[in-house]
Amino acid sequence: MGEDKMDIDTPTTTTPATPKKKKESVTPSASAETASKYPDMALAQSIHALIMMTPHSGMETPKLDAEGAKAVGIADDLNATIMSKVGGSEVENPALYKHLKTTLSWDKQSNCLSEEELTAMEERHTKTLEELEAKVEEARENAGDMEVLEARFDVARFAAKSMSKEAALEAYDKVLNLPKLSSGKTIDALMESARVASFHGDTKKNAELIDRAAKMAADGGDWDRRNRLKVYSALSKLLARDVKGASALLVDCIATFSCTELCSYTDFIVYTMISGVLHLPRTELKKMIIDGPEILSVAKDIPAVSALVNALYDCDYKGYLHAMVDVQPVLVADRFLQPHSGYIMRELHVLGYKQFLDSYKSVTLESMASSFGVSTAFLDLQLSRFIAAGRLTAKIDKFGGVVETNRPDLKNAQYRDMIQKGDLLLNRIQKLGRVVDL
C-alpha cells in the first residue's frame, strides 16, 4: 500500500504547456497502473462465481453447475484459491473471511482458519490502523496538506483491502472531509468508495457515490476521470437494469477503456456486446461490435458471446438459440449480469423472434420452428406469451398454423401523437389567455 503514489493537485512548474496538455489546475487521475487495486474486483468476481457454484439457502442444485463453470473457464481449485487469498497475506480480511465462512460452509473444511486466528488477524489490523493514523497526525503537525492527504488515503486503502465495508467507507469519508480537497481528489475518493460499496454488494450506496462523482466531474473533472467514470456509471446502470443507458456509455468507452481497477477488459467487452446486441441498431451493431477492432482483439476469448452476436446479425436463428444456451453460464458467473440473467435471456428471445417476423407478413409455425431448430409446440408457447405481453406485434392462427405480423403504422402513430400534443398545447394557451385577460 505504501508504494501507491497519489498525484497531488498542484500546477506543474517543470514541464512547459503544450496544446494537448490538460489544464494545470486539474491533476490527472490515477491511471490503470497507479490506481488503488483494493478492493480487488477480480476477487469479487471470483467470490460471486463460487457462490453460484455452491448450493445454499435451501437450494438443492447450484445456479452454476460444473459443466457451466468449465465452459466459462472457472478453475477447479477456485474455493481453495479464494480461501487462501482472503485469509492470507495478499488480502487478509477477517470480516470477509467470516462472511464467506458462513455462506460457503468453510468451517466444515480442515484448512479453515479458526476463530482465534481471525481474532489475532483483527488485532494486527487494529495495530496497523493505529500506526497509519499516527502518520496522519504526524503529517498534520510536521508537513503540509498534501502529505496529510496521502496519509489519509493510505488509511482508507488499507481499510478497503483488509477491513469491513463500514470501516472502509468511514475511512474514505475522512478523506472526503479534509479541508481544501480538490475536485479531482474528491472524485478519486468517491470512485474508490464506490468500488468498496460495489465489492460488498451495496448497489444503492454504489449508485449514490457514482452520482456524486459524476456531478463533480461534469463541473470540472479532467478527461481521464470522466472517461473512467463512464464505466463506473455503466456498470451501475447494468445493476439497476438500465441496459440501454449502460450500452450507450459502454460503446462510447470501447476505444478509450482504462478502468482495469473495476473490471477486466474482457469483461468490459462482454458487457458491451450483451447490452449492445439488445439495443444497438443493426448498422451500429455491425460497425461498433461485429467489425470493431477492439472487439475482434478479444473475440476468441469470449466465443459464446461472439457467436451470439454474429448469429443474430447473420440471421442464423438456429445458431442464435444454440449460442443463447452457451451464453447463459456466462451471465450467471458474472456479478453484474447474473441478477438480470433471466431478463436478458427473455429479451434475447424477443429480439430473435422480432427480427425473424419483421421479414414476413405471415409465416407458418412449422417453417419458423424449423428456422429456430425448436418444436412447434415450444415456439407456439413462447410466441403466445410474448404476444400477450405486447412484446411482439403478431397474432397466431392456431387453426391454420400461421403467424401473422401486425406491423405498427409508425407514420400514423406519429401523426396521432402530434395531434394529441397539439390539442394539449392549445388548451394550455387558452387557459393562459384567460388568466392574462383577468
Cα–Cα distance measured from residue 56 to residue 51, given in angstroms and rounded to the nearest whole number: 8
Closest CA to 106 of 96, 119, 91: 96
To the nearest whole percent, how much of the chain has pLDDT over 90?
57
Buried b (16+ CB within 10 A) or exposed e, 215-227: ebbeeebbebbeb
Q: What angle do CA 431, 432, 436 make, to 5 degrees?
A: 120
Contacts of 376 (CB under 8 A, 6+ apart): 365, 366, 369, 401
3-state helix, strand, coil in the chain (%, to 5): 65, 5, 30
Residue showing cell 449460442? 323
Residues 183-207: tens digit of each pLDDT: 888 999 999 999 999 999 999 999 9
Q: What angle do CA 344, 345, 349 make, to 5 degrees?
A: 115
Q: Measuring CA to CA, how many Å separate 207 from each of 44, 54, 144, 236, 240?
A: 18, 28, 33, 6, 9
* 235 contacts 246 by C-beta, under 8 angstroms: yes
According to the model, what pLDDT value does residue 134 have?
Answer: 93
Beta bridge partners of 396: 403
Residues 152-173: tens digit of each pLDDT: 999 999 999 999 999 999 999 9
pLDDT at 19 over 60: no
Cα–Cα distance measured from residue 244 to residue 264, given in angstroms and rounded to the nearest whole number: 21
Q: Measuring CA to CA, how many Å separate 67 from each of 1, 56, 219, 331?
A: 39, 19, 49, 14
What is the tally of helices (H) and strands (E) in the chain? 20, 3
Q: Measuring CA to CA, how many Å separate 397 from each of 220, 365, 366, 404?
A: 60, 9, 12, 7
Least confident interval from 42-46, 123-127, 218-222? 218-222
pTM: predicted TM-score of the whole model, two decimal places: 0.83
pLDDT at 269 over 50: yes
Q: Name the 3-class secondary structure at 397.
A: strand
pLDDT at 418 over 80: yes
Characterise 92 by phi-psi region: left (phi > 0), alpha (psi -120 to 50), beta (else): left
According to the model, what pLDDT value does residue 229 have?
Answer: 92
According to the model, what pLDDT value does residue 258 have?
Answer: 87
Cα–Cα distance measured from residue 347 to residue 351, given in angstroms and rounded to the nearest whole number: 6
Cα–Cα distance measured from residue 315 to residue 435, given in angstroms and rounded to the nearest whole number: 59
Closest CA to 242 of 209, 278, 266, 211: 278
pLDDT at 29 over 80: no
Summarize the confidence of residues 399-425 as an average pLDDT: 80
> Greatest CA separation found in the chain?
88
* 150 contacts 178 by C-beta, under 8 angstroms: no
Higher pLDDT, 224 or 131: 131
* Cβ neighbours of 70 (radius 10 Å): 12
Cα–Cα distance measured from residue 305 to residue 246, given in angstroms and rounded to the nearest whole number: 17
Cα–Cα distance measured from residue 39 to residue 159, given in angstroms and rounded to the nearest whole number: 9
* 196 contacts 169 by C-beta, under 8 angstroms: yes
Cα–Cα distance measured from residue 420 to residue 424, given in angstroms and rounded to the nearest whole number: 6
Q: Measuring CA to CA, how many Å separate 66 from each of 6, 73, 180?
A: 43, 11, 53
First to last CA, the chain: 72
Closest CA to 138 of 129, 147, 125, 127: 147
Main-chain dihedrals φ then ψ at residue 403, nearest 5 degrees? -105, 120
Beta strands at 362-364 and 394-397: parallel, antiparallel or unpaired: unpaired
According to the model, what pLDDT value does residue 412 have?
Answer: 66
According to the model, what pLDDT value does residue 414 have?
Answer: 76
According to the model, what pLDDT value does residue 221 have?
Answer: 67
Residue showing cell 494537448? 20
Helix (H) or strand (E) holding 434: helix 410-437
Average predicted confidence (pLDDT) for the chain: 86
Cα–Cα distance measured from residue 57 to residue 267, given in angstroms and rounded to the nearest whole number: 28
DSSP 164: -
